């Protein structure tokens, strides 16, 4: 963890040397699925879901096998992608009622003072669009168009948040264009159509497209032409539609002649919540937990002629890293005095190094630090948990140490055999507690979330 001003003065120079021969400001597309499990796509071992487009994407690009979300639920993980910060740093780890995600008509949201990936790229002349699920606040001050996006089209919340007072809305910028789309089987196709239109409209200049899918969050609503196409019910059918959507994006990039100038990254916000419908194997656990299956997510990155085809990296990478990497991609410096937690992983993506970009990665569930990873070692730390939300361990939790390189399912507790490693990781955990906080203990490095006294959810104008 370090201040922006200390770690980026040479970003522009580094980016220029690493991206030699490419467009001076390459395009960036980030596709962010919802609740997609670690092994729900072919490149990560899926046998239940056919994903030929993603399979080809991996053959032509790189798999990041140790890529993490920063929290095993929706809102916090999305705040990290936008800001390059752990959710606790920007106070997006819980809502105003101490629940794990934001709900419609929330008074809390992503603080407009935070500098997002869209703002960084927009300042470099990029056209920017968010198409899909936002989930960082529905007040106008917290919506995408207040965070650097030129345009927004999508659902501000999760697909299951349909309320009598706030029906699940489809929004363009700040205006509700449909007031209840919870069971809309066309939603993925509509997102895809919007994304393709954005690519075609902006192919003559650098662009950033953020496509956070509603899929595959409950309720499951795959498109009609995909129903019955898998052996895994509606869940598998929707995975098939995601793969189709990726094919449409690549088709547009090639037809517009910008495929070689575009870095595309595909990942998920957390692990699958459904053991029978989704799969996080060979990882233990699921959405809502800090086992690997809750927070380690599939990630495939493609950039023709730049990213080595058919490659993979086991470096500890994260959604935290997307903002500083985007800045490096665009050849800009992240000037300012705000601390971020992300690292520039462009050298990893370009095959220049496979070294871990961070000393430690921290596993937070809401307000609680539950584990820390350094290198191959992961330590679950002792904690006293309140009896509340699902996914939280109850009572005292013993020290548990796992060597993830040899035991990715977290079966063999080596804490008693490796006291020196336990001691080192406990010190790293304490460092995180001082900076980011833990339970009711505030951290010195925390910043305020956005807050409004009067909520302003997106509603249909009558």
Q: Which of 247, 242, 254, 291 is nearest to 270 (CA)?
A: 291
Q: What is the mean pLDDT of residues 254-271?
A: 97
Predicted local distance difference test score (pLDDT) of residue 386: 52
pLDDT at residue 120 above 60?
Answer: yes
More confident residue, 173 or 387: 173
pLDDT at residue 388 above 80?
Answer: no
Backbone angles phi, psi at 123, to 5 degrees: -65, -20
pTM of the entire predicted model: 0.92
Domain 2-349 has CATH 3.30.360.10: no
Predicted local distance difference test score (pLDDT) of residue 391: 52
Catalytic site residue 74?
yes
3-state helix/strand/coil string of the chain? CEEHHHHCCCHHHHHHHHCCCCCCCCEEEEEEECCCCCCCCHHHCCCCCCCHHHHHHHHCCEEECCEECCCCCHHHHHHHHHHCCCCCCCCCCCCCCCCCCCCCCCCEECCCCCCCHHHHHHCCCCEEEEECCCCCCCCHHHCHHHCCCCEEEECCCCCCCCCCCCCCCEEECCEEEECCCCCCCCHHHHHHHHHHHHHHHHCCCCEEEEEECCCCCCCCCCCHHHCCCCCCHHHHHHHHHHHHHHHHHHHHHHHCCCHHHEEEEEEECCCCCCCCCCCCCCCCCCCCCCCHHHHECCCEEECCCCCCCCEEECCCEEHHHHHHHHHHHCCCCCCCCCEECCCCCHHHHCCCCCCCCCCCEEEEECCEEEEEEECCEEEECCCEECCCCCCCCCEECCCEEEECCCCCCCCCCCCCCCHHHHHHHHHHHHHHHHHHEECCEECCCCCCCEECCCCCCCCCCC
Catalytic residue among 33, 74, 85, 299: 74
Q: Which of 67, 70, 83, 79 is nearest to 432 (CA)?
A: 70
Predicted local distance difference test score (pLDDT) of residue 384: 60
Strands 127-131 and 151-154: parallel
Contact of 131 with 150, CB cutoff 8 Å: no
Q: Which of 339, 261, 349, 348 is nearest to 301 (CA)?
A: 349
DSSP 137-193: --SGGGSGGGTT-SEEEE-SS-TT---SSS---EEETTEEEES--TT-TTHHHHHHH
pLDDT tens across 65-80, in order?
Answer: 999 999 999 899 999 9
- Topology (CATH) of 361-442: Arylsulfatase, C-terminal domain (3.30.1120)
pLDDT tens across 341-364, in order?
Answer: 999 999 999 999 999 999 999 999
> What's the distance, CA 105 to chain centroid?
23
pLDDT tens across 10-66, in order?
Answer: 444 444 444 433 447 999 999 999 999 999 999 999 988 899 999 999 999 999 999
d(CA 390, CA 400): 21
pLDDT tens across 393-420, in order?
Answer: 444 567 999 999 999 999 999 999 999 9
Predicted local distance difference test score (pLDDT) of residue 2: 41
pLDDT at residue 296 above 90?
Answer: yes
* Sequence ranges of the domains in the chain: 2-349, 361-442
Q: What is the mean pLDDT of residues 316-345?
A: 94
pLDDT tens across 137-191, in order?
Answer: 999 999 999 999 999 999 999 898 888 888 899 999 999 999 888 889 999 999 9
Predicted local distance difference test score (pLDDT) of residue 431: 97
d(CA 23, CA 27): 9
Predicted local distance difference test score (pLDDT) of residue 15: 46
pLDDT tens across 248-259, in order?
Answer: 999 999 999 999
pLDDT band of 276, cuts 50, 70, 90: low
Predicted local distance difference test score (pLDDT) of residue 462: 64
> HSE-up of 181 (CA within 13 Å, CB side)?
24
pLDDT at residue 434 above 70?
Answer: yes
DSSP state of 296: B
d(CA 332, CA 330): 6
Residue 55, SS3 per DSSP: helix
pLDDT at residue 5 above 50?
Answer: no
Catalytic site residue 100?
no
Q: Same fold for the domain at 2-349 and the one at 361-442?
A: no
Predicted local distance difference test score (pLDDT) of residue 385: 57
Contact of 249 with 196, CB cutoff 8 Å: yes
Strands 207-212 and 27-33: parallel
> HSE-up of 371 (CA within 13 Å, CB side)?
27
Contacts of 372 (CB under 8 A, 6+ apart): 360, 361, 362, 363, 378, 379, 381, 425, 428, 429, 432
Catalytic residue among 49, 135, 147, 240: 135
> What's the distance, CA 208 to chain centroid?
15
């Amino acid at each position: 963890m370090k201040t922006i001003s200390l770690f980026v003065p040479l970003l522009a120079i580094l980016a220029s040397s690493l991206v030699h021969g490419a467009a001076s400001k390459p395009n960036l597309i980030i596709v962010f699925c919802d609740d997609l499990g670690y092994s729900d796509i072919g490149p990560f071992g899926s046998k239940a879901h056919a994903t030929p487009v993603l399979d080809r994407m991996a053959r032509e690009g790189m798999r990041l096998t140790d890529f993490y979300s920063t929290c095993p639920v929706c809102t916090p993980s999305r705040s990290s992608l936008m800001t390059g910060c752990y959710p606790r740093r920007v106070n997006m780890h819980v809502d105003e009622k101490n629940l794990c995600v934001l709900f419609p008509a929330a008074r809390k949201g992503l603080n407009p003072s935070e500098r997002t990936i869209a703002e960084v790229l927009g300042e470099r002349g990029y056209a920017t669009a968010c198409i899909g699920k936002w989930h960082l606040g529905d007040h106008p001050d917290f919506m995408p168009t207040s965070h650097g996006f030129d345009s927004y089209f999508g659902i501000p919340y999760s697909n299951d948040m349909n309320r009598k007072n706030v029906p699940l809305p489809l929004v363009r910028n700040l205006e509700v264009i449909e007031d209840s789309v919870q069971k809309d089987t066309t939603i993925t196709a509509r997102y895809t159509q919007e994304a393709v239109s954005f690519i075609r409209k902006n192919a003559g200049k650098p662009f950033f497209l953020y496509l956070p899918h509603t899929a595959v969050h409950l309720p499951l609503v795959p498109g009609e032409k995909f129903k019955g196409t898998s052996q895994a019910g509606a869940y598998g059918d929707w995975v098939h539609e995601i793969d189709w959507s990726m094919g449409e994006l690549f088709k547009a990039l090639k037809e517009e002649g910008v495929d070689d100038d575009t870095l595309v990254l595909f990942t998920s916000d957390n692990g699958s919540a459904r053991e029978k419908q989704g799969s996080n194997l060979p990882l233990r656990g699921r959405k809502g937990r800090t086992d690997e299956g809750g927070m380690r997510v599939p990630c495939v990155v493609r950039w023709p002629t730049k990213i080595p085809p058919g490659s993979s990296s086991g470096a500890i990478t994260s959604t935290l890293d997307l903002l500083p990497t985007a800045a490096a991609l665009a050849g800009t410096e992240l000037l300012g005095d705000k601390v971020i937690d992300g690292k520039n992983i462009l050298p990893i993506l370009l095959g220049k190094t496979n070294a871990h970009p961070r000393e430690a990665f921290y596993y937070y569930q809401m307000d609680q630090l539950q584990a820390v990873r350094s290198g191959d070692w992961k330590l679950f730390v002792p904690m006293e948990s309140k009896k509340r939300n699902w996914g939280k361990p109850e009572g005292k939790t013993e020290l548990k140490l796992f060597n993830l390189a040899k035991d990715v399912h977290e079966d063999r507790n080596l804490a008693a055999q490796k006291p020196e490693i336990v001691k080192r990781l406990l010190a790293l955990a304490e460092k995180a507690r001082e900076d980011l906080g833990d339970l009711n203990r505030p951290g010195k490095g925390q910043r305020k979330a956005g807050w409004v006294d009067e909520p302003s959810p997106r509603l249909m104008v009558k």
